[in-house]
């Protein structure tokens, strides 16, 4: 089973157990990005995480956005881009850019 399938299976198990779950997926990268397009992070309303979309501060920002999406039901497209000099501060090692789509699982 691939990492992506494992994240989806974990999210499905959480949903089956009655949890509210959001799924974040890297849909686009440019330059250096820690995780490729297609990488996923599942977030439960109780605070469980499975998978990864980046690491560093970006992961926390995506988890916060996932909580908002779970509450509102409205999907979000997050756009993270950073200059090389600030890249290490926020978790993007070489100034890469990425877009992450966040959706609530039904």
pLDDT score of 80: 83
Taking residues 50-72, report their average pLDDT.
90
What pLDDT band is residue 93 in, cutting at 50, 70 and 90? low
pLDDT score of 33: 74
Q: Tell me if 23 sits within 8 A of 42, measured CB to CB.
A: yes
Taking residues 30-52, report their average pLDDT.
90
Q: Which residues contact 27 (CB under 8 A, 6 or more apart)?
A: 37, 77, 99, 100, 101
């Amino acid at each position: 089973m691939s990492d992506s399938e494992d994240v989806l299976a974990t999210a499905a198990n959480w949903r089956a157990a009655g949890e509210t779950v959001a799924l974040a997926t890297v849909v686009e990268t440019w330059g250096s990005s820690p995780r490729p397009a297609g990488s996923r992070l599942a977030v439960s309303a109780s605070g469980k995480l499975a998978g990864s979309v980046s690491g560093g501060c970006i992961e926390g920002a995506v988890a916060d956005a996932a909580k908002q999406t779970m509450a509102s039901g409205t999907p979000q497209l997050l756009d993270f881009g950073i200059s090389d000099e600030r890249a290490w501060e926020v978790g993007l090692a070489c100034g890469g850019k990425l877009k992450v789509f966040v959706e609530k699982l039904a």
